[in-house]
Amino acid sequence: MEEKERHLSLAEVKSLLEKEQKKRELTYEQKLALEHAKHFSKIGITKGRDMAKELMKMERITEPFAYKIVDILPMYPEEIRAIFAKERFTLEEEEIKKILKIVEKYR
């Protein structure tokens, strides 16, 4: 059976790697990923998933963008604009305000 690919928050990566570490020795790359996740994860798994679900209800927020926002927890409009900088669209001010309001709710 083929597993569906999905995005994870840093907190989820940290949890998965810690569980795996209890079973066996992690590879060098996995150890680096675990250290990165420990250092930079800012929100718990449940809160992160809930936030991502709420963000994905917005029209232009896809799963990759939702989890990027969960990991970064932007506080300022400029940070949100940076996340979407390479896209062919520009978020409206109202969309940016809504994202910041959602982030603040879960912070």
Helices 10-23 and 28-40 cross at an angle (nearest 10°) of: 140
In the chain, the percentage of residues whose pLDDT exceeds 90 is 92
Q: Which two tokens stand for residue 13?
A: 């990566």
Tell me, what's the pLDDT at 101? 97
Q: List pLDDT tens digits, range 69-100.
A: 999 999 999 999 999 999 999 999 999 999 99
Domains in the chain, start-ordered, CATH in brackets?
Answer: 10-40 (no CATH), 45-106 (1.10.150)
Taking alpha carbons only, the member of 14, 77, 67, 59 closest to residue 41 is 14
Counting as low any pLDDT under 70, the low residues of the chain are 1-3
Taking alpha carbons only, the member of 51, 55, 66 closest to residue 7 is 66
